[in-house]
Structure 1
Amino acid sequence: MIPYWHAPSLELGPLKIEPFGIFVAAGILLAARLLGRQAEKEGLNPEPLADFAPWGVGVGVVVGHLVHLFFYHPEELSKSPFQILKVWDGLSSFGGLLGGILAAVVFFRMRKLRFSDYADAFALGVAPGWAVARLGCFAVHDHPGVPTDFFLAVAFPGGPRHDLGMYDAIALFAITGVLYALRSSGKLKGRLLPLLAVLYSICRFFFDFLRATDMAYVDARYFGLTPAQYGSIALLLYGVWGLLRRREPGTASSPPSAPKNPGTVGAR
Structure 2
Amino acid sequence: MPYLVDIDPIAFSIGPVAVHWYGIMYLIAFAAFWWLGERRRRAGRLPVGPTAFSDLAFYGMIGVILGGRVGYMLFYATPELLADPLSLFRIWEGGMSFHGGLLGVLVAMWYWSRRNGMHFFDVMDFVAPLVPIGLGTGRLGNFIGGELWGRHTDLPWGMIFPRAIDTAGHSIEQLKAMAAAGQLAAEARHPSQLYQMLLEGVLLFCILYFVSMKPKPRYLVSGLFALFYGLFRFGVEFVREPDAQLGYLAWGWLTMGQILSLPLILLGVVLLLASRSAPTLQPRVVADPVPGKKS
Same fold (TM over 0.5): yes
**Alignment correspondent of 2:190:** 162
What amino acid is aligned across from residue 63 of structure 1 in structure 2? G
Give 2:255's match in structure 1, choosing from 223, 226, 230. Answer: 226
CA contact (8 A) 1:7 1:140 kept: yes
Distance 2:262 2:204 in 1: 18
The answer to whether the 8 Å contact 1:175/1:196 transfers is yes
Q: How does 1:136-151 map to 2 (within 5 A)?
A: 136-151=141-156
Unmatched 5+ stretches in structure 1: 260-268
Is the Cα–Cα contact under 8 Å of residues 43 and 283 in structure 2 kept in the other structure? no
Q: 1:249 to 1:71 in 2, by over 3 A?
A: closer
Whether the 8 Å contact between 1:117 and 1:252 is mirrored in structure 2 is no
Cα RMSD after superposing both structures? 2.7
TM-score by length of 2: 0.76
SS in 1 for 2:160: coil
Kindly indicate whether the alpha-carbon contact (under 8 Å) linking 1:148 and 1:162 is maintained by their aligned counterparts in 2. Answer: yes
Amino acid in the other structure paired with 1:248: P
Give SS of 1:145's match.
coil
Q: Which whole-Å CA distance do the structure 1 matches of 2:55 and 2:203 have between them?
A: 29
Looking at structure 2, the residues matched to 31 and 179 of structure 1 have their Cα atoms a distance apart, in angstroms, of 14
1:221 CA displacement: 4.6
Whether the 8 Å CA contact 1:20–1:137 is kept in 2: the answer is yes
The one-letter code of the counterpart of 1:6 is: I
Amino-acid identity (%) = 25
5+ residue gaps, structure 2, are 166-186, 291-295
Q: Residue 256 in 1 paired to residue 283 in 2?
A: no
Displacement after TM superposition at 1:31 (Å): 1.5
**1:198, 1:239 within 8 Å by CA — same for their partners in 2?**
yes
Of the three residues 174, 192, 206, the one matched with 2:235 is 206
Q: In 2, distance between residues paired with 1:64 and 1:220? A: 20
Partners of 1:88 and 1:252 in 2: CA distance: 42
- CA deviations on 1:59-116 (whole Å, 9 max, x unpaired) are 3212211221122123433774421222443211211111111111122113221233
Corresponding pairs, count? 256
1:40 is the counterpart of 2:69: no
Question: Does structure 2 conserve the Cα–Cα contact (< 8 Å) formed by 1:71 and 1:220?
Answer: no
SS at match of 1:11: strand
Q: Which structure 1 residue ranges, 4+ long, deviate > 6 Å from structure 2?
A: none
Does residue 60 of structure 2 align to residue 56 of structure 1?
A: yes
Provide the residue aligned with 1:16 in structure 2: 18
8 A contact 2:215–2:282 mirrored in 1: no
- 3-state secondary structure, aligned to 1:173: helix
Structure 1 residues 190-217: Cα deviation after superposition (integer angstroms, max 9, x where no partner): 522211221111010121122225x8x4
**Structure 1 contact 205–229 (Cα < 8 Å) conserved:** yes
